[in-house]
Amino acid sequence: MTTRTFIKESKEMMRDGRIRIAFIIVILLLGAAVWISMRQYQNVNARYEAAKAAEREVWDNQGKKNPHSAAHYGTYAFKPKYPLSLVDQGVDKYTGTSIFLEAHNRNEAQFSAAADQTGLARFGDLTPDFVLLFMIPLLIILLGYNSFTKEREMGTLTLLKSQGISYWKWIWGKWTALFLPILLITSVLFLVASIVLSNLQDFGVFKWESLFALFAIYIVYYIIISNLVLLISAKAKKSGISLVISLCVWIIACLAAPKVASNFAEDRYPFPTRQEFAASVLKDKKAGLDGHNPWSKESKLLEKKVLEEYGVDSLHQLPFNFDGYRMQKGEEHEAEIYLKHYNHLKDQYIQQSKVYRNLAFLSPYLPTRFLSMAVAQTDYATHWDFADAAEDYRIATQKFLNNNFAQNSEYGNWSYQADAAFYKQLPNFEYDPPELNVILNRNSSNLMVMGVWLLGSFGLLFFIPKNL
Amino acid sequence: MITTNNLTKMYGDFTALNNFTLTIGQGAIYCLLGANGAGKTTTINLLLNFISPTSGTASINGLDVVKNPIKTKAFLTYIPENLMLYSSLTAVENLDYFSGIAGKKLTVSSLKGFLEEAGLQTDAFDKRIGAFSKGMRQKVGIAIALAKDTKVLLLDEPTSGLDPKASNEFGLLLQKLKEKGVATLMATHDLFRAKEVATHIGIMKDGTLRQQFVANDISLSKLEKEYLNTMDYKELVL
């Protein structure tokens, strides 16, 4: 009976002109979105490679120079575009693509794609994740809103009931007929994505298991949406009512719930404004050692401590250049300040994420969105990881430069210049994004919420409509 | 075989069916006559287990319809006043689906054979039901009964709205099913058709079976007179 109902429903769908048109529209949108994303991905990564190489060349060829001048001269950490951003671009557009690494300051990522766009960008981009998260659920609604109500309206339900149908098998047949076309579309999209990705330079971070995980996340999302749409159709008296309720659920789940969750989280755990943040950092920095100011109280205390430690009377008697040493200690103090303030930001972000996760029970869209961005490595957590790695690299770079200054010159000798070859010894910035198992562990609550949605929606679908 | 024993259905204080007792054997066609609200459709709905009886029992082929809702339906075919089928599917596809969910696996040629036996024109087999007249849809309904090898046929006003030719064809189909041993219960207002096709006729009023006749023992005019008297339309009796 399940197979026969599946075949019957599929024939009815294929013969419905509206559904054929909707299918064509969604497939065209998906094709266009993948093509646009692929072009964007190729362009961004080509620019990334070029910028990375050019910046390293500039660093390597800066010539003889005082190491602290080189520290102020700075360099850049570039954020690569990860292969799965082809499917979900997440928050990449807003988080910036490069971080300027210099002495004394931790800078935020800059040159975001959003900043380069005009006001028209407010209308949004056509991306695969837009089609996957918003358009395909709409297609599910279009395919399934009248799945049960049409039986009532056409009068076929009476005939079916008189045939002694098994409700479970009947519902299962309808469910299969609704879900299989969606599975087909999604599979085609991911197949195309896998072909495209396997032909692109992958920067060593593309993992097939991540693509499969992403596919599985969307499939679970569509199963939940299909269950909800069929449940509404089974309980509604008329197709029109079923359609309106389904669309309302879509609006609440996909449009309203994320904004409510975002506003609620922001309200409960607000981020400081940029000015407040800068003022707090400056205040704390001033309260500690400034590597450039040998006359401050903190510098004098450091001087006294070092002289005592080495048992000498003068800074000139030290086996290293105290200016370089103080510069490094100043960096370490500033790094601590930045760590403290960025950890506060991170705590706020973690708290906001917890609020999001708790509100994920409101809508299956929320856990899907978080998981999708996380697996695609385009979420804020990945950006934080990248920013932290860049900061670690900045601190290590400052140490590398200050140590050279301290070890190879005498106190007061600001005219010291390190060899041009020295700068080439600085290791490249390498960043490995978190592995899939780490990502899934971080998102265990989102996985759990999706599991609850999946089981709950199946339970409701198969137990509630028994009295059709 | 259809059997009811003191079958009663009440909605609050209102008695829709009162102690209805009846047996329809193999090859019998029982026509239930009565005005709207007499309890004809309630009887059919109880036999289909669409509603539960307040008291009494109903059984199909010896199986209680309440205790064996799926098994009893395997024996029967129900054709309502307006038989609605899937409009975007063809006659063959509809027949395939409905016989299929009843557990029959039939080839296209045998499906067409049943449609032909039910009197549907050959050129309509592969046409979508959406364009079918009521009479054509009723024929597909009969084809479902034939394909299912049904033992019991429940008909609720099947000839209402049919033109005389279609109504006559439908009557002939019932005769064909009768010869196959199908027990038929038909609720109708159509005295003429009842007299034509029935082996037994019952007249219902206010949920009670008031009179029963063997169809061959009563003339159409006598049946009409008895019907009008039962309905208290004495001023209409000629």
* Contact partners, residue B128, CB within 8 Å, separation at least 6: B87, B88, B89, B90
Give the SS3 label for residue A164: coil
Regarding beta strands B63-64 and B55-60, do their DSSP bridges make them parallel or antiparallel, or are they unpaired? antiparallel
Q: What average pLDDT is seen over chain A? A: 86
In a domain, B55, yes or no: yes
Strands across the sheet with B76-79, in order?
A: B76-79, B152-156, B183-188, B29-34, B200-205, B208-214
Chain A contact set for B87 (CB, 8 A): 154
B131 touches chain A (CB under 8 A): no
- Indicate the number of domains in chain B: 1
Domain-embedded: residue B97: no
Q: Does A467 touch chain B (CB under 8 A)?
A: no
Asked if A1 is an interface residue toward chain B (Cβ–Cβ < 8 A), one would say yes
State yes or no: pLDDT of A178 exceeds 70: yes
- Residue-level pLDDT at B233: 72
Name the residue type at position A315.
L
What tokens appear for A403 in the block?
């140590």
Cβ–Cβ < 8 Å for A368, A137 = no
Is B133 inside any structural domain? no
Residue by residue, pLDDT tens for chain B (238 residues) are: 889 999 899 998 898 888 989 999 888 999 998 888 888 899 999 999 888 999 999 999 889 989 988 888 888 889 888 888 898 999 999 999 988 888 888 899 999 998 988 888 899 899 998 888 888 888 888 888 888 888 898 988 887 777 777 788 888 888 888 888 889 999 988 888 888 888 999 999 888 888 888 888 888 888 888 888 887 776 665 5
Return the half-sphere exposure (C-beta side, CA atoms, 13 A cut-off) of residue A308: 6
Q: What average pLDDT score do residues A133-155 get?
A: 91
Q: What stretches of A79-213 adopt beta strand conformation (E)?
A: 98-101
Residues A390-415: tens digit of each pLDDT: 999 999 999 999 888 888 888 878 88
- Asked if A78 contacts A97 with a C-beta cutoff of 8 angstroms, the reply is yes
Nearest CB to A163: which of B84, B86, B102? Answer: B102
Counting every residue written for chain B, the total comes to 238
pLDDT at A17 over 80: yes
CATH of the domain at B40: 3.40.50.300
Residues of A in contact with B98 (CB under 8 A): 159, 163
What contacts A185, CB < 8 A, 6 or more positions away?
A23, A26, A27, A30, A136, A139
Cβ contact (<8 Å) for B101 and A12?
no
Instruction: Look at the alpha carbons of A407, A412, A413, A414 in this order and tell me if their dihedral is positive or negative.
Output: positive
A86-127: pLDDT as tens digits = 888 877 777 777 888 888 888 887 766 656 665 555 556 778
Of the candidates B69, B84, B154, which has its C-beta nearest A156's C-beta?
B84
A163 CB contacts (<8 Å, ≥6 apart)? Answer: B73, B98, B101, B102
The range of the structural domain enclosing residue B65 comes to 2-82+151-236
Nearest CA-CA distance, residue B84 and chain A, Å: 5
The answer to whether position B87 is within a domain reads no
- The chain A residue lying nearest B47, using CA atoms, is A162
- Residue tagged 């085609």 (tokens): A188
Taking residue A285's Cβ as centre, other Cβ atoms within 10 Å add up to 19
- B31 occurs within a structural domain: yes
Residue B32 lies in a domain: yes
Separation CA A287–CA A333 (nearest Å): 10
Is the confidence at residue A224, as pLDDT, over 60?
Answer: yes
Task: Kindly determine whether residue B101 and residue A158, on different chains, have CB atoms separated by under 8 Å.
Answer: no
B/e letters for A299-334, b = 16+ CB within 10 Å, e = fewer, are beebbeebbeeeeeeebeebebbbbbbbbbbbbbbb
Report ipTM for this prediction.
0.85
Q: Burial level of B164, CB count in 10 A (0-12/13-18/19+)?
A: exposed
